[in-house]
Structure 1
C-alpha cells in the first residue's frame, strides 16, 4: 500500500451530495431499518456498556469495548452513500497499483451514542486536523465534535469517538478520504491482469461478498445495513466504467494535467454493501434495444465479443429473466442487467445487482470450440445469478448464518430457469448428479454442519467465509427441492411471491420464508403432518441426513443418522437427536408412486410388504434427501430386475440404487460385493445418469487400488462393462462422425470414450491419438469434436510423450478462449512422464506461465494422476513457504490443494506424513488456513476400508473377469 498519499481537491469536490436532495431522500427512509436492526439487539453491544453475551472477539478476556465485537452495534443505520473512486491502471513510483477516493455516508441515529463504528479494512485514511473523518449534521446545527479516531485492525473498524452524543432520529453525514491498494487478491476493489495480442491489460473490478466492501471504502458492511449508493468513477481515456445502475453521460475532466473520464451513475435501489460493484475496463458489449423495458448487455474482451462468444448469453438472459418474473410473479426490479465476463475471476459468478460478474467460462460460449457441458454451465450459472436478483438482492438474508437462503435457493431454481431456456436438455434431473449426490458424501461425515447456524456462531470474516461451502449451496438446494416436491412446485412459487412482496428491499430469516410457504400450503389445502417450519427445521438445523431402511417382508421402516464412517464420533449435538420427518416415496412392480411420512425412528406400513417376485424402489426420482437400504430379498430382486429389464426402473432411480449401494457398503451396512453387483447390468445400460454414478463410485476403488495388484482385475472388469457402450456410441454417431442428438447422450459419449481408453478397449487409444495427431499436423485446424476435446487431449497426452505435451502447452498459451485453455490445462496433467509432470509443477511457481488463480487447480489435476500424486505431494511440502509468501491466502485455496493431494492416502505411512505436515503448517500459519482433521479422518477411514475390502474385492473381480 502506498504511504502518505493525499486525495486531490479536484476529486474531493466531485459529485457532492446536495443537502436538500439528501433530506428529501431521507424523509422517505426514516424508519426503514428500525425494526430490522432491533432484531439482533441481544447479540450486539451499544455504547451504554459492554455486552453481556458471549459474542466472539479477538480481544483478550475481560471487559470488552464495542469495537472489540465483530458485529456492529444497533445505534446507527445507514441511508445513503456518495462514493467517488479513482483507480490507477498503471503502477506508481513504488510499483504499486492504487486507488484514491472519498465517501460520504448519511446515517440515522437509532439509539443515542457518542461512538461511530464503521468498517474500514486496508485503507490508508487521510487525516483532517488529526482525525480520520469529518462529521456533519443534516439539520443545520453543529454536529458533535470528534474526540478521537483510530483504526481497530482486528475487527476492521474505523472508530470515531465523539465529545457529545448523536441524537436518536437525526441524520448525520460522515466524510472520509482514503487511498487503497488495487491489489490482485480478488477481494474488494482489485485489479485483474490479462494479455491480449501480447499486450498486458488491466481491469479494475470488485468482489465485495462477503466482507470486502470495507476494503473499497468505509461502510457499514453488514447485509442488513442496506442503503442507496451514488457512485462516481474517474478512469482513463479509452476505458468504460460500469456499476450497478445506469450511468449518466460521461464527462471529460483534467486531473493533474492529464485528461480523464468521469462517469457518474444513477442512485441504486436500496441494497446491501456486498452487492455493490464497479468496473473499469476497455471491453465491448452486445445488447438489446436501448428502448427495451430492461436493457440487457453482455460485456467481454473485444475479441470475444467480435467472435460472437457473448451471443448465447444474450439470447438466454432475456428468456431466463422472463421465467423468473413469471415464477416469482414479480417484475424484475431494475432498469438494466449488465453481465460481464472477466478473463480471471475467483468464482463462477457474482450476483451484484444490475452488474453481474462472471469468469469467462461461465458467460461466454463459442459454438465451434465450447462443449455441450460448457454450454450447460453458462446457462445454469446465468440462471443462478439472475435468480438472485429477487432472492438475495431484492430480499436478503439478515445475517450470514442464513446464507443458504440466498445460495441454496438460487442453486435449486437455477435448474428450473435453465430448463426453461433449454427445454430439450431435461436439465432438472441433473441436479441429482451435480448437487445432491455430491453433497451427500460431505454431509455424511462427522465434520459436516447444519445448513443454518445461530447468528452468534458466525461472526468473524473467517467464519463467514467458511459458510460458503457445498452444504450451503448444494444441500440447501436439495432440501428446497424436497420441500417443493411435497408441497408441489405451484404452491412453492406462490409462497415465494408473497414472501418477496412483503420483504422487498428488506432482510429476512428462514422463519419468514417458512411463514409464507405455510400460508400457501394452507390456502391450497395441502395436508402435512406438521407445519412447514417444524418439518424443515429438522433438515436445516441439524447436520446430516438419514438412511431409511425398508423391510419388504414385514413392512417395517426405520431411520438412523447416516455416516460413511460408522466408527466416527459425532460430537456436534442435535436438538432433534438426529431424527427427521422424512417424506418417503416408493413404487412397486407395475404400481404408481405412493408416499408415507416417517415421523419417528421406526414404524410399520403394510403397503411396503411385497408379494411373489415383486420389487420395490423408494425415494422416487431421488426427491428426498436420504439414502435407502432394503432387506436382502428386495436387494436381490432389484439386481435381477436390473439385469433382466433395467428400463422398468426409472433412470434416476437406477443411478440412485447404484449410489446408495456403494455408500451403504462404505458405511459397512451392506457388503461391498453387493454394491459391485449393482453395476453388472451396465453392459446393457446406455443412459448417462447410471453410468456417471457408477463411474464416480468406482473412482474411489481406483484411488485406493490403482497402485496395487488389484488394478489389473479392476481395469479388466471396467473394460468388460464399457465395451458395449463404446460400440453403441460408435454406431449411434456413424463411426464418430456425428453428434448424439440427446443432451445426456452427448455426456455419456464422453464417458464411453474415456472409460474405454483407460481400460484398454481396442481401437480407443488409436482413435484419440489419431485425432490429436491430425491437429498437431495442422495446428490451425482443430477438428476434434468440442464435447470430446477434454478426453481426447488427456488420453493422447497420456499415450504420447514430449512432443504431445509441448504442443498442448503451446496451444494452451496461445488460445484466446478460456474454456479451451482450461481443457488443455487439465490435459497437461495426464502425461505419464514424471519429468514432464515435475516441469509442470515448476511452472506453477511462475505467474507468467500459470495464472495465480489457476495454481490450485493445476496442483489438484496433477495429484489426480497416480504418477503425479507423489510428485505433487513432495513438491508442495518442499515449496510450501514460497507458495504462502508469493500467493498468500487470496489467490489460492490451501485447503483444496491439500485435500486434492491426499485423496489417495490409504496407508499408515501416509497418515503419519499428513500428521507431520499438519504440525509443520499449523506451527507457521495457525489452524485457520487449512483444517486437516477431515483429511486425517478420511485417511484413517481409507486405511480401514482397504483392510476390510481388499480380499473380497479381489475375489469378486477375478470371478467376473476370468477367461477374458
Structure 2
C-alpha cells in the first residue's frame, strides 16, 4: 500500500467520473442506482466442528428478489471471501418474478478489490420489473470477528464453539451475496441449520423448529419470522448451546449467555433493566417498540463493545453480564449505559437509518447521548446523566483540540472504501456527537427536541434519511411551539457539524466583551483543514451572575459586547452552566480570582459539574474515594499501601477459591500486588485470568497483569497478544495499550508494535486489532524529539503495509507529540521550580 498522500490521491482518482468507472462500474466502490433489493431468502448451515483440513466452514443458499429502477445489462452485488457454486459456468442463477423475462447471463466473476460478484447479461433488465438472483456458496467460519464467525470458550473442561455474527459495517457480504449498503433496505427471511442440542437465534422470532437429516447428519432446522425492512448491516445470526432468562410483558425479553453464567444469575441485572429502558424509549420517542421480541446475547469474542442488530443485540460478555458478588459498581454502570445505547438504536438507527456512512456521528452520537437518559431512568439514584461530561465531553475535547481532527460529518464521496467507513467510528463521532446533541437539546429544550424526534421517526419509519431531515423536523417543532431562535436549527448546527474543532469563549467582565476563537492544543499549528465557516460557531451561552441564572444569550460572531456581563465589587460571572455547551471558557484574571474565592467560601452555590467534581455522592462515592486513595497511595510508592495490597493478594493466593478482596478494590489491589511482586504473583494472576468465568473479573486481571515491573514478564505478556489461544483477538490491542500505560512497559510495547506491525496488520486484520486505539494508546504520553522521530520513521517504514483504521490516529499522534514537546519546553522549568519551592 502506498503512502497516505498517495492513498488519498488514489481514492480521489477512483471517485472521479472517469471513462473507466463509467465503462467498468465494478471498479467503483459504490453500487450503481439501477437495482434495489426487496427481500432475501437465506439458508445457512454453520459447522461447529472442523473438517478434515481443520477448517470450520458454513454453507449457504441465498435468493434475493430485486427491482430494476433503470434499464441495465449489469448486476453488481457485494460478495467477499465466499466460494460460489457454478451453475452452467456461471456463479449465479437469474430468474424473473411475475411477467418479466430474465436475460441470460453472458459472464460472471468476482471483483475482489471492490468486493463484488459481477454478472454481465446478454440483454437488459427492464425498469419496473422484478427479478430473483440465486447463489450457493461456502464460507469459512473463521475466528476473525467479522461476518459470520466462530467464538470459542471452555466450560466444564470442554471446548465449545459459538457461531455468531458481526455484519456492521460492511461484513454482511462476507456471509452471503447482498446489496451491502445501508440505504438498500430489504426484508430478510432466515433459516438456520444447526447441530441438534444447539439453539439458533436471529433478528426475528423463531416460527418453526424441526429435526431433520442433512447430508446424512442429524440436525435441527430453525426458521424465523421475516424481519422488518432493514439494512444488511443489522442482520444477526447465532448458533450456540446457550440458555436464557426471560421476561414477557408487552415485549418478550430474553437475555442469552453461557449456561453457567445464566445459572449463576449473571443475566438477571440486564433482564431487570431492559424492560424499563425499552419503556423509557417508547415514551421518549412516543413510538412503540416495533418488534415482537428483544433478544440480547453475550458472546466470548466480539470486536465492538456491543452491536445494535435489530431484535438480537450482541455484546461482549463483560458489557452484558453482571455478577453482584464479583463485579464492581463501575461494571454495573457500564452494563446499564451500554444496554441503553443499543436499545436507543432500535428506533434511531434501525427504524430510521441514515443513507450513508458519512453521517455515522448522528447515529452513534445520538445513541451515546440518550443512553445516559435511559440509564438514568432505570437507575434514578445514580445521577448518571452528569457522567456525560467526564465520559464524553472531555474525551471529545482531547481529540477535537488537535489540528488533525475532522468534522462530524463528511462529504458522501469522501467515505467510500471499507477502511474509510471503519475510521468513522471514533471519538469524534461518538463523544463529540453526543456532546453536540446534548447542547442542541439544551438550547431547544427537551420537550421541543423530542417533539421533533417523534415526527422524524414517524415520517421516515422503515426508510433512510440524511442529517438535514432531522434538522428540518426539529425546526418544525420550533415553529409549532413558537420558540424564538436567532437562526434556523440547520444554520445553528452546520458550523458544529461541518467544521472540526470547537471554540474557547473568552469573557471580559470589565468591558463586557465576549469573543470566540478556535481552540487548539498547539495554538501555533500551521495545519488546519479549510473550514466553510472560518472557524466560527453559533454559540449558545447559558450563564449565571453571582448566584442568579441569567437569560441565555448567543455569540454569533467572533466578538460581541453585553453590558450584563460587566461586574462590580465581588460579583462573578460563570458561563456554560453544567457544561451543556460544547466549548471551553476563559475569563479575565479578576473574574477567575472571584470564582476561586467563591469556591473557597461556599462552593455549593456553583453547580457541581462546573466545579469539575469527578466523584458523585449518588455512586457511593465515599467508597469510588477509598478506591482512589488506595490507587494513589500504592502508585506513588506508599509502603503501607503496597504491603496491605500484597497481604490481601497473598491471602487470595493461599485460598484461590475464596477471593475476599472487595470487587470495587480488586483492580487496584491486583495491579499493586503484581507490580510489587514477582513471577509467582504474576503467574497466579495469569492462572486466575485463564480460569475466570466472569468477563468483568477477567478484564480486571487482564489489565492488572500489565502492571508488572519485571520486563521479562511484560515481554512474555506482549508475546501472548499474537497467540489467540492465550489472549483473545478482541483483547489483543487492549493488552498492548495496558502495558504501554505502565512506565516500565511503555518502550517495550512501542518496540513490540514497531517490530510486529506488518504481521499484525496483514495477518490479523480489521476484526482483531483496533489499530486506532492501539496507536493512540501507546503514543499518548510521547513528548520527546526521539519519540517524534520514531513515530515519523514508523509512518515512513510501514507506508507500503498501511495503517487501516489507524491512519488518522497516527497523524494525530504525530501532531500531539509535537504539541507535547512544545508544552514541555515552555513549562518544564517553571513547574519544576514551583515544585522544588514547595518541597523545600
Q: Does TM-score exceed 0.5, indicating one fold?
A: yes
Cα distance in structure 2, aligned partners of 1:419 and 1:741: 11
Aligned to 1:938: 816
Cα distance in structure 2, aligned partners of 1:859 and 1:142: 58
Describe the superposition over 1:358-393 as per-residue Cα deviations: whole angstroms up to 9, x where unpaired. Answer: 001111000001110110000000000000000000
Structure 1 residues 648-797: aligned runs within 5 Å:
648-655=605-612, 687-689=613-615, 742-761=619-638, 763-797=640-674
Cα distance in structure 1, aligned partners of 2:162 and 2:470: 39
**Which has the bigger relative contact order, CA under 8 A and spacing at least 6?**
2
Aligned to 1:627: 584
Local SS of the residue matching 1:688: coil
Cα distance in structure 1, aligned partners of 2:388 and 2:600: 26
Cα distance in structure 2, aligned partners of 1:619 and 1:762: 43
Displacement after TM superposition at 1:926 (Å): 6.5
Cα distance in structure 2, aligned partners of 1:821 and 1:62: 50
Is the deviation greater in 871-880 or in 581-590?
A: 871-880
Aligned to 1:636: 593
Aligned to 1:75: 34
2:185 pairs with one of 223, 226, 230? 226
Aligned to 2:7: none
Aligned to 1:597: 554
Local SS of the residue matching 2:123: strand
Displacement after TM superposition at 1:641 (Å): 2.7
Cα distance in structure 1, aligned partners of 2:380 and 2:271: 17
Displacement after TM superposition at 1:797 (Å): 1.7
2:771 pairs with one of 894, 898, 902? 894
The structure-2 alpha-carbon separation of the partners of 1:846 and 1:67, relative to structure 1 and needing over 3 Å to count, comes to closer
The structure-2 alpha-carbon separation of the partners of 1:744 and 1:223, relative to structure 1 and needing over 3 Å to count, comes to farther
Aligned to 1:336: 293
Local SS of the residue matching 1:530: coil
1:150 pairs with one of 83, 95, 109? 109
Q: Is the 8 A contact 1:57 1:69 kept in 2?
A: no
Q: Is the 8 A contact 1:380 1:414 kept in 2?
A: yes
Tell me, yes or no, if structure 1 residue 239 matches structure 2 residue 117: no
Local SS of the residue matching 2:732: helix
Displacement after TM superposition at 1:887 (Å): 2.7
Is the deviation greater in 612-621 or in 428-437?
A: 612-621
Cα distance in structure 1, aligned partners of 2:20 and 2:828: 52
Describe the superposition over 1:218-270 as per-residue Cα deviations: whole angstroms up to 9, x where unpaired. Answer: 11111111010100011111111000001122111111211011111111111
Is the deviation greater in 791-800 or in 304-313?
A: 791-800
Structure 1 residues 55-74: aligned runs within 5 Å:
56=15, 64-74=23-33
Structure 1 residues 529-540: aligned runs within 5 Å:
529-540=486-497
The structure-2 alpha-carbon separation of the partners of 1:343 and 1:915, relative to structure 1 and needing over 3 Å to count, comes to same
Cα distance in structure 2, aligned partners of 1:578 and 1:159: 45
The structure-2 alpha-carbon separation of the partners of 1:418 and 1:569, relative to structure 1 and needing over 3 Å to count, comes to same
Aligned to 1:20: none
The structure-2 alpha-carbon separation of the partners of 1:543 and 1:741, relative to structure 1 and needing over 3 Å to count, comes to closer
Tell me, yes or no, if structure 1 residue 201 matches structure 2 residue 160: yes
Aligned to 1:904: 781
Q: Which segments of structure 1 move beyond 6 Å, counting only runs of 4 or more?
A: 57-62
Cα distance in structure 1, aligned partners of 2:288 and 2:434: 23
Cα distance in structure 2, aligned partners of 1:391 and 1:810: 43
2:719 pairs with one of 842, 858, 873? 842
1:949 pairs with one of 818, 827, 831? 827
Local SS of the residue matching 2:796: helix
Cα distance in structure 1, aligned partners of 2:622 and 2:168: 38
Local SS of the residue matching 1:890: coil
Structure 1 residues 162-561: aligned runs within 5 Å:
162-289=121-248, 292-561=249-518
Displacement after TM superposition at 1:893 (Å): 2.4
Local SS of the residue matching 2:279: helix
Cα distance in structure 1, aligned partners of 2:263 and 2:119: 51
Describe the superposition over 1:760-817 as per-residue Cα deviations: whole angstroms up to 9, x where unpaired. Answer: 4564333323322222222211121111111111112222222222221111111101
Cα distance in structure 2, aligned partners of 1:384 and 1:775: 36
The structure-2 alpha-carbon separation of the partners of 1:59 and 1:342, relative to structure 1 and needing over 3 Å to count, comes to farther
Displacement after TM superposition at 1:553 (Å): 0.7
Cα distance in structure 1, aligned partners of 2:17 and 2:264: 52
Local SS of the residue matching 1:201: strand
Displacement after TM superposition at 1:528 (Å): 0.5
Cα distance in structure 1, aligned partners of 2:600 and 2:638: 23
Cα distance in structure 2, aligned partners of 1:868 and 1:105: 52
Q: Is the 8 A contact 2:357 2:415 kept in 1?
A: yes
Structure 1 residues 569-588: aligned runs within 5 Å:
569-588=526-545
Displacement after TM superposition at 1:543 (Å): 0.8
The structure-2 alpha-carbon separation of the partners of 1:313 and 1:186, relative to structure 1 and needing over 3 Å to count, comes to same
Describe the superposition over 1:663-713 as per-residue Cα deviations: whole angstroms up to 9, x where unpaired. Answer: xxxxxxxxxxxxxxxxxxxxxxxx5349xxxxxxxxxxxxxxxxxxxxxxx
Gaps of 5+ in 2: 1-11
Q: Is the 8 A contact 1:424 1:743 kept in 2?
A: no
Tell me, yes or no, if structure 1 residue 922 matches structure 2 residue 799: yes
Q: Is the 8 A contact 1:433 1:689 kept in 2?
A: no
Gaps of 5+ in 1: 1-52, 656-686, 691-739
Cα RMSD of the aligned pairs, angstroms, is 1.9
The structure-2 alpha-carbon separation of the partners of 1:249 and 1:923, relative to structure 1 and needing over 3 Å to count, comes to closer
The structure-2 alpha-carbon separation of the partners of 1:926 and 1:369, relative to structure 1 and needing over 3 Å to count, comes to closer
Displacement after TM superposition at 1:634 (Å): 1.2
Displacement after TM superposition at 1:919 (Å): 1.8
1:832 pairs with one of 709, 712, 726? 709
